[in-house]
Structure formats: C-alpha cells, structure tokens
Amino acid sequence: MVTSEVTIKNSVGLHARPATFFIQKANSFKSSIWVEREDRRVNAKSLLGVLSLGIVKGMEITLVADGPDEEAALEALTTLIDSELDDLK
C-alpha cells in the first residue's frame, strides 16, 4: 500500500469534467485506489464518491493505492492533478 498527499491547484477542484477524467484514469489501473479528505475515504473509481467529497481549489487530499500497479497509479493520478486538470473545465 502506498499513499501520496496532493494539493488541488486547478480552479474548479474535482468537480464535473475534471472528476470524470480523474475517475477514468483511476479505472485504468488494477489496484484499489481511494481518495481521503479529513476523516472520509471514498473509492477513487467512483464518480459519486469523489464528487461527494466536495474537493475544491487549495484542499489537500490523500491518495491511497493498494495492488499490483499501486505506484504507477499514484504517480499517474498525482501528475494528472498537478498538471492537467485546469485545462478540463
């Protein structure tokens, strides 16, 4: 199991279209992946779960992955959050 803390930098957070791309990327991995915010943990492969966290710009979240491609999954999701989501408004 690996974890990574990331800060949401894009202007709209993980809402609507950016969340959809995040979920699609998470679903491309075999590992189980979760998003944690404060005391809540949701499946990163669930659109409703991710949206229910209300993640907005400036929030810090923790990504957790467990499985055969866990490190690649966290690297890809962290890169997506850090660099690409602002173009997906």
Looking up residue 7, the CATH number of its domain turns out to be 3.30.1340.10
CA distances from 41 to 36, 64, 83, 88, 89 (A): 4, 9, 23, 24, 25
| Confidence at residue 83, expressed as pLDDT on a 0 to 100 scale | 80
Residue 89 has pLDDT above 60, yes or no: no
The residue range of the domain holding 57 is 2-88
Angstrom distance (rounded) from CA 61 to CA 18: 15
Residue bearing tokens 């229910």: 52
Give pLDDT tens digits for 11-51: 888 888 899 999 999 999 999 999 999 999 999 999 999 99
**Which residue numbers are catalytic?**
15
Domain count, the chain: 1
Strand, coil or helix: what is 38?
coil
Q: Which amino acid is at 53?
A: L
Angstrom distance (rounded) from CA 45 to CA 73: 12
Give pLDDT tens digits for 58-85: 999 999 999 999 999 999 999 999 886 7
